[in-house]
Amino acid sequence: MAKLITWNCNMAFRKKKDRILQYDPDIIVIQECENPDTNGDWSEFTDWRWIGENKHKGLGVFSRNGLSLQPTGVDGQGGELTIPVKTDGAGKVLGVWALNDKRNPQNRYIGQVYRTVRAFREFIDANTALLGDFNWNRPWDDSPKSPLCGDFSDTVDLLNSRGLKSVYHSLNDSDFGSEADPTFFMHKKQDRDYHIDYVFLPKTVIESVTSFSVGKYDDWIDGSDHMPIVVEL
């Protein structure tokens, strides 16, 4: 059994981690997370990896319940904030946080996820979970801004070709862009809701999912504009 969570915590995870720990997760991917090596008490976690230029706002992957995180031995640039790790009991994890890129608009948001999937395509297999904040959904592929190096459809096609499917869309038989459960509320406004956070797992692993949930607005909006996604296998 393993429990995975991804959540854009809207900064200061050290002050909000108890809200996630109530689920007793094994692997957590946190966007907008401070560098644990510089601030906070992280004794509840077994191990972690962190990346970012701003020590207050980066990407972290945390493990608990005795799971350690090991380097992958795979070289790849991927998106700006990507963390690939191997665990000693819950397979491989590829954590992502897609950001804007004003210097290279083709590489903004989902373009970074696309680059990540291409860079780590040999790493992604039937033992890999990819989860995080993509900051995108399929309807935005037709954005009038400059073309992307790879759009949402391209990214999903690549993941599908490696055997990974979106857990939410598989379990709910939902199309991308037609989700009933938002993961993001822009400016914390309930009427500006979007589904832009995802967990992708191999099809055979999705068949072993015992519970899946997306956080609800009333329960989480005081902590973040994003809702956590919780998957138990």
Number of domains comprising the chain: 1
Q: Report the pLDDT value the prediction gives residue 79, as an integer from 0 to 100.
A: 78
Quick one: which of 63, 5, 2, 1 has its CA closest to 230? 5
pLDDT digit string, tens, across residues 4-14: 999 999 999 99
Query: Residue 81 and residue 15: Cα distance in Å, rounded?
Result: 22
CATH of the domain at 223: 3.60.10.10
Phi, psi (degrees; rounded to nearest 5) at 49: -135, 145
Q: Report the pLDDT value the prediction gives residue 75, as an integer from 0 to 100.
A: 64
Q: Report the pLDDT value the prediction gives residue 133, as an integer from 0 to 100.
A: 98
Confidence bin at 71 (pLDDT 50/70/90): confident
Burial call 99-118: b when 16+ CB within 10 Å, e when fewer = bebeeeeebbbbbbbbbbbb
Cα distances (angstroms) measured from residue 97 to each of 65, 90, 104, 204? 24, 21, 17, 25
Query: Residue 223 and residue 59: Cα distance in Å, rounded?
Result: 17
pLDDT digit string, tens, across residues 155-209: 999 999 999 999 999 999 999 999 999 999 999 999 999 999 999 999 999 999 9
Residue 100 lies in domain: 3-232
Quick one: which of 223, 170, 232, 193 has its CA closest to 30? 223
Q: Report the pLDDT value the prediction gives residue 145, as an integer from 0 to 100.
A: 78
Q: What is the average per-residue pLDDT within 136-154?
A: 92
Gyration radius from the chain CA atoms: 16
Confidence bin at 89 (pLDDT 50/70/90): confident
Percent of the chain with pLDDT over 70: 97
Whether residue 77 has pLDDT greater than 70: no
Parallel/antiparallel/unpaired status of strands 197-202 and 69-70: unpaired
Query: Residue 206 and residue 181: Cα distance in Å, rounded?
Result: 19
